[in-house]
Chain A
Amino acid sequence: MVVGAGNPNPPAAPHVKALNCPGCGAALSLRSFTQAVTVVCDSCHSILDAQDPQLKILQQFKKATGEDPALIPLGTRGKIRGTPYEVVGFQRRTIHVEGIPYSWHEYVLFNPYKGFRYLTEYNGHWNDTATLRALPTLNPYARQVTVNYLGETYRHFQTAQASTTYVLGEFPWQVRVGEANEVTDYISPPRVLSSERSGKEITWSMGEYLSGRDLWKAFALPGEPPMPIGVYENQPSPFSANTKTIWTIFGAFLAFLLIMMVGFSASARDEQVFQGAYTFDTNSRGEASFVTDPFELKGHTSALELSTTTNVDNNWIYLNYALINQDTGQAYDFGREVSYYHGYDSDGSWTEGSRNDSVAIPSVPPGTYFLRVEPESDFAHGSIHYEVTAKRDVPQFSFFGIALLALLAPAALITWRSMNFEHLRWAESDHAPADSSSDSGGDDD
């Protein structure tokens, strides 16, 4: 289509309008050209009708002492999602929970082609917010109220009455200090859906969590962003993704561990290489020690399980064992105590100890060995019969248990930390767990 003959009176390129406040005469500028509905005079805090050429005064509010200034000054420009925006307005909104006021800040951002966006800030947590075009669906009958939007489910976090307690700059809607609207937040970290009800109308907006650091870079602001305090409603958890992967890896390790267990059990020789039966006469005063016949330990270096079975009854025997390599003169020296007591008292019959004992001598190289045994017991307590059995290459199951705990520990730790994080998150909501010590005060937006 051919564009027709040029317009003799083309509309002038819009420029930032310079005006004067009707209340105090101070200079005002409308950064959002004619799109602002309300503009606030910085000097006298008159709230003016920006659509009225006379800038009618709508409200005037008193600036309280000790005011917190906007962290991002009006007029600053920065890029959000690749589009440049200018900060044109700022407001502080307050809710009361159990009598305690909680406030957050909202910054109005403007781009003449893309329109308005908002930045909200609470305790150092930032969100990039914009009004929604499509409507979310409510699920009021679920156990906890949720809302669906674009395939994602958002859980109810908080409902509160929010009132504006401070305004500065321009707004694309009517603002009055003191007027309260019902605001409800639904979260699906890192996103949040907010509904704001004024009268019968509901406006939905969606926010996405933003790090102060990224924001400071985008707006080239000096200094550091404020330190975030606590966990914010839609703050993404640094643990959730890792928790899943770690448990999956643990599962793989567990499977591997089981395979190793089966493998070692099956491939161990578990071979009985020696057995001897002896009697220890506690009445005798002679030399009690003796040596056994030699026996062969074959295969690779492995554990040797030495079992002692006795017939002690309300008695004990202590055996000094030495496993001696006939050729190298290397000895493994250890002692085993076997005691067994039993009786009957007011609670019933009781037993203590055991008649049998088993120990694994570690890493015994192959070769020819014999045992030197020296028994000990109370003098003159009768005869004790005992049997000594040696088994070559027996798997040590205790190590599997230790390995399992070692693998479990990091997964359990990260799960615990993740649950802790979520606990902190929900402590600020309307659904705070009953045991949380902090009052269910919170924030919004």
Chain B
Amino acid sequence: MRNIYMIYGVIVLGLLGMAEYRGFSLASVNEVKNVPRSVRDNPGSYRSVYAVYHHYTGGK
């Protein structure tokens, strides 16, 4: 019983260490590849995944 817990704890701490070192985060971020350099000249041409989000959804 205690051996199982020890292995479990080591795995938890191991995952924690990895997460901290690699900079994991809970935020939901989309990765987009191959954004062309022309975005710097024309920022409006970038089609964001969130571009459809035009309305406000929260609070008063």
Task: Tell me the A residues contacting B by CB distance below 8 Å.
Answer: 242, 245-246, 249-250, 253, 256-257, 260, 264, 287, 289-291, 300-304, 316, 318, 320, 322, 324, 326, 329-335, 337, 339, 341, 352-353, 359-364, 370, 372, 374, 376, 378, 393, 395-396, 398-400, 402-403, 406-407, 410-411, 414
Contacts and interface: CB of A to CB of B under 8 A. Distances in A.
A363 B23 contact: yes
Number of contact residues on B: which range applies? 35 or more
Contacts of A257: 13, 16
A335 B27 contact: no
Contacts of A246: 1-2, 5
Contacts, number: 162
A400 B56 CA distance: 33
Nearest to A362: B25
A378 B56 contact: yes
Q: Which 4 A-B pairs have the closest CB atoms?
A: A303-B23, A302-B23, A362-B25, A360-B25
Contacts of B2: 242, 245-246, 249
A411 B21 CA distance: 27
Nearest to A316: B56
Given A249-B9, A324-B35, A406-B12, A301 B23 contact: yes
B12 A334 contact: no
Interface string B8-27: 11001101110111111111
Contacts of B53: 318, 320, 335, 376
A333 B24 contact: no
Contacts of A362: 22-25, 27, 29
A329 B20 contact: no
A157 B55 CA distance: 69
